[in-house]
């Protein structure tokens, strides 16, 4: 039996009309109770799930493209995952109008064992135009991607995201379990290139962890931070923190904002990891050690000695990168990879 995890730190005194950097740039997770309790969507959800569904349907755009609904049988108990040998998934995906997905969730509200239904990472401005006119933040100096997540009782395996994330519960309740990035070795992460939703996930079942199969998870749990969020509450999840998300009610809605503390032209570091697996990992140990030093010199611990002996016009990628130079570098890499 696992001991109770430590709570996620909470922060108070936040003005929802002027979110401060002490929240948005925090290197550690933070919970803000009631941050979006004034949103009309939250007020509707507090009246009833039916009112929340009706509120969302009021913003449907006629002729909008279908959303992707992830659906699993009741037997998976909301846990979207792999099959037994990690060769396939225990769910299917369907393209349906958003209104159909909402009507289906409404139909199953009284069902004690419904199919698991999840409409994940749906861009608000595309599918619910006008919603953000009444339910939104002003985030000075940032241009976040605003998405909505809609479903019933679901469990999303622990995973990482590159962007920072401000996640706001606007209907239902969610349990959020977080781990520092350094717990990677103890979370038993599955395949990198075959994933349920684009990001590698922990293979540990948080509802019933098997410590004989995953003994290092006991160490990870010592570093876990947990919060249960009600409508109106928000959590700041910094870049690359592991997060496991559980919807606890028959109808749950999350609105989240993603942004990166880097220029938009920068590629995801996951691409560099994949290339390193292909080009570095299987070298002889002595050569791997050499390349570790090379990466430290040019990437992880660069100093003036890296390029100060090269005239500025000749520094190329050793000099500051910008969008144009990144585009040129990307084209050069693609040419090399496709030769």
pLDDT at position 62, please? 86
Over residues 71-87, the mean pLDDT reads 97
3-state secondary structure of 216: coil
pLDDT at position 37, please? 97
Tokens describing residue 215? 């003994």
User: Taking the domain 6-259, which CATH number applies?
Assistant: 2.60.120.650
The backbone torsions φ and ψ at residue 274, rounded to the nearest 5 degrees and listed phi first, read: -60, -45
Q: Please, which pLDDT band fits residue 63 given cuts at 50, 70 and 90? A: confident
Over residues 283-305, the mean pLDDT reads 94
Calculate what percentage of the chain has a pLDDT beyond 90: 89
Fill in the DSSP letter of residue 149. E
pLDDT at position 93, please? 97
Placement of tokens 């936040």 in the chain:
14
Distance CA 333, CA 243 (A): 33
Over residues 179-194, the mean pLDDT reads 98
pLDDT at position 3, please? 75
pLDDT at position 256, please? 97
Instruction: Output b/e per residue, 287-312; b: 16+ Cβ within 10 A.
Output: eeeeeeeeeeeeeeeeeeeebeeeee
Nearest to 38 by CA among 227, 231, 253: 231
- Looking at every residue in the chain, the average pLDDT score rounds to 95
Cβ neighbours of residue 322 under 8 Å, at least 6 residues apart? Answer: 263, 265
Helical H segments across 164-259, by residue range: 217-222
Q: Please, which pLDDT band fits residue 255 given cuts at 50, 70 and 90? A: very high
Distance CA 58, CA 76 (A): 32
Over residues 239-254, the mean pLDDT reads 98
The domain ranges of the chain are 6-259, 269-337
Fill in the DSSP letter of residue 296. I
3-state secondary structure of 266: coil
Task: Count Cβ atoms below 10 Å from residue 106 Cβ, excluding itself.
Answer: 17
Nearest to 127 by CA among 71, 58, 54, 41: 58
**188-226 per-position pLDDT tens digit:** 999 999 999 999 999 999 999 999 999 999 999 999 999
Placement of tokens 């570095």 in the chain:
280
pLDDT at position 2, please? 61
pLDDT at position 139, please? 87
Residue 1 pLDDT > 70, yes or no? no
Over residues 161-174, the mean pLDDT reads 98
Over residues 122-141, the mean pLDDT reads 93
pLDDT at position 303, please? 85
CA distances for 3 relative to 6, 125, 221, 228, angstroms: 9, 42, 8, 16
């Amino acid at each position: 039996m696992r001991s109770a995890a430590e709570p996620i730190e909470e922060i108070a005194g936040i003005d929802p009309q002027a979110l401060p950097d002490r929240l948005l740039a925090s290197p550690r997770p933070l919970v803000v109770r009631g941050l979006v309790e004034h949103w009309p969507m939250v007020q509707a959800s507090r009246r009833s799930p039916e009112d929340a569904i009706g509120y969302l349907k009021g913003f449907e755009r006629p002729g909008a493209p279908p959303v992707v609904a992830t659906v699993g049988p009741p037997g998976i108990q909301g846990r979207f995952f792999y099959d037994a040998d990690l060769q396939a998934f225990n769910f299917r995906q369907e393209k349906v109008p958003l209104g159909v997905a909402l009507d289906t969730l409404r139909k199953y509200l009284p069902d004690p064992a419904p199919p698991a239904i999840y409409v994940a990472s749906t861009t608000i401005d595309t599918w619910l135009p006008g919603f953000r006119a009444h339910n939104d933040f002003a985030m000075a100096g940032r241009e976040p991607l605003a998405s909505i997540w809609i479903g019933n009782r679901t469990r999303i395996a622990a995973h990482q995201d590159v962007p920072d994330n401000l996640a706001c519960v606007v209907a239902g309740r969610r349990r959020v379990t977080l781990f520092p990035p350094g717990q990677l070795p103890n979370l038993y992460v599955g395949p990198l290139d075959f994933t349920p939703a684009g990001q590698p996930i922990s293979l540990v079942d948080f509802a019933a962890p098997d410590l004989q199969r995953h003994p290092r998870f006991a160490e990870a749990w010592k570093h876990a931070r947990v919060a249960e969020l009600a409508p109106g509450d928000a959590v700041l999840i910094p870049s690359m923190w592991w997060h496991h998300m559980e919807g606890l009610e028959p109808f749950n809605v999350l609105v989240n904002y993603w942004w990166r503390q880097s220029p938009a032209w920068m590629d995801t570091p996951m691409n560099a990891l994949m290339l390193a697996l292909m080009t570095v990992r299987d070298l002889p140990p002595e050569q791997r050690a050499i390349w570790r030093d090379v990466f430290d010199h040019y990437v992880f611990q660069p100093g003036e000695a890296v390029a100060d002996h090269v005239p500025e016009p000749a520094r190329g990628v050793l000099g500051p990168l910008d969008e144009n130079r990144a585009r040129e570098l990307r084209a050069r890499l693609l040419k090399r990879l496709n030769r």
